[in-house]
Amino acid sequence: MDLKVEILQSLTEIDEFDWNQLGEADYPFTRHEFLIALEQNHCLFEFGWQPVYFLIRDKNAVVAAIACYIKSNAYGELVFDDNWAQAYERSGQNYYPKLVSAIPYTPATGPRFLIHRNIHDSDQIKLLTSQLIKIIKQFCISHQLSGWHCLFERESTLKTHTDEQLLLRYDCQYHWTNQCFRNFDDFLSSLSSRKRKNIKKERASVSDENLTIIQKYGNDLSADEWDRVHQLYAAIFERKYGTATLTRDFFQTIGRQLKKRVMVVLALNDKQIIAASLFFISDTTLFGRLWGCDEFYNHLHFECCYYQGIEYCIKNDLQRFDPGAQGEHKISRGFLPTRTCSAHWFPDENFHQVIKQYLSQEEQIINDYCAEQHKKSPYKKTGEIG
């Protein structure tokens, strides 16, 4: 292979077709349409995300790439390293800027190292991934970045590169798995009696409100409907978290560009949209991302964000439902603890070793936590009736 490195500051510098030949075609968050929508609709620079894309070409053809961001803060990463930053700065060094390989504001596990889909040889894939890691490390050193953080990559990918001195960090999310359910009632029958009755009660309370709940793909929403979805999402941030990072134009763009890779659940009261949840779709997985409402109804959040998603997965034969980060309350609704993985590297060898020891202890804590949460599974035990 005649490999050449290229570093870009915008996806406008690479053809959409060439980029979309990399990675997994169905994973929505690394597609050119999604990433450039973030760039061009004021979702990045304003909040401390400066794009930098590393490409590898073989005889002018792009064969591998990774999307990275120089970060001036930790906002929107969802892998929390504030205590690391404090420790680093107590030693007299600057933790920011740092380099992050991630999907902004999106804690959804998937490929970060994007390899051309015509390359199937495992040795070639490992070589290209190693080359990307090498380029990233050199970039961090030459630009005086404190370190590199690869967030929500698959553990199986990261573990093939243990010789790269990557430090693996684990966390816990709650995901739903499709056990070949025929319909929602079939799913309910797999749960213990008490959990089954609770879900039925929650869904009935929403049904009693006489709301209309519908599912629409991204390209089926009108411009006015997308504006309303964004308004509901932004209002949640204004009430609770501060500033909404995703803009109205971003919503409009992804609906138009990603089409059936985007799905929105709308709750209507007398034809007026009063709540909405936003999902992204791969060939195997439904990803729950955002929620907004401006009228309170008991259990409407569970209906729009969880139960509608489960029904969609069953109807469309999706294997998994990843509803996003955090939330032990998801367990009783069929979502079980699932480990997530990230990788970290620091040019400062002393700090690298300190974090290595820290992560060794933290991993055991996460493993114990996941095991403890698994004991709360709502599913019937083998042989259990009722």
pLDDT tens column, 248-270: 999 999 999 999 999 999 999 99
Average pLDDT of span 171-197: 97
**Residue 244 shares a structural domain with residue 272:** yes
**Residue 23 shares a structural domain with residue 140:** yes
Model pLDDT, residue 385: 58
Model pLDDT, residue 69: 98
Q: Is residue 384 part of a domain?
A: no
Query: How many angstroms separate the CA atoms of 284 and 289, rounded?
Result: 16
**Residue 74 shares a structural domain with residue 128:** yes
**Number of domains forming the structure of the chain:** 2
Model pLDDT, residue 381: 84
pLDDT digits (tens, 9 = 90+) for 67-104: 999 999 999 999 999 999 999 999 999 999 999 999 99
Of the ranges 11-20, 344-353, 375-384, which one carries the lowest mean pLDDT score?
A: 375-384
pLDDT bracket for residue 50 (50, 70, 90)? very high
**Residue 165 shares a structural domain with residue 183:** no
Query: How many angstroms separate the CA atoms of 132 and 140, rounded?
Result: 12
Neighbour count for residue 332 (Cβ, 10 Å):
16
**Residue 22 shares a structural domain with residue 160:** yes
**Residue 39 shares a structural domain with residue 85:** yes
Average pLDDT of span 199-214: 97
**Residue 8 shares a structural domain with residue 142:** yes
Q: Is residue 157 part of a domain?
A: yes
Torsion of CA 119, 108, 362, 101, to 10 degrees: 60
Model pLDDT, residue 242: 75
**Residue 290 shares a structural domain with residue 155:** no
Range of the domain at 307: 179-318
| Amino acid in position 88 | Y
Q: Is residue 325 part of a domain?
A: no
Mean pLDDT score across all residues of the chain: 96
Percent of the chain with pLDDT over 70: 98
CATH number at residue 103: 3.40.630.30
pLDDT digits (tens, 9 = 90+) for 308-323: 999 999 999 999 999 9
Q: Is residue 327 part of a domain?
A: no
**Residue 156 shares a structural domain with residue 16:** yes
**Residue 194 shares a structural domain with residue 64:** no
Query: How many angstroms separate the CA atoms of 305 and 8, rounded?
Result: 37
**Residue 224 shares a structural domain with residue 157:** no
**Residue 26 shares a structural domain with residue 94:** yes
**Crossing angle, helix 349-374 and helix 82-90, to 10 degrees?**
160
Model pLDDT, residue 386: 60
**Sign of the Cα pseudo-torsion (155, 136, 163, 169, in order):** negative
Reduce the secondary structure of 244-261 to three states and give it as a string: CCCCHHHHHHHHHHHHHH
pLDDT bracket for residue 383 (50, 70, 90)? low
Model pLDDT, residue 384: 63
Q: Is residue 324 part of a domain?
A: no
pLDDT bracket for residue 219 (50, 70, 90)? very high
Contact 171, 108 (CB under 8 A): no
Please list, in sequence order, all residues whose beta carbon lies within 8 angstroms of the beta carbon of residue 122, skipping any fewer than 6 positions away: none
Helix (H) or strand (E) holding 202: helix 193-207
- 20 φψ region: left (φ > 0), alpha (ψ -120 to 50), beta (else): alpha
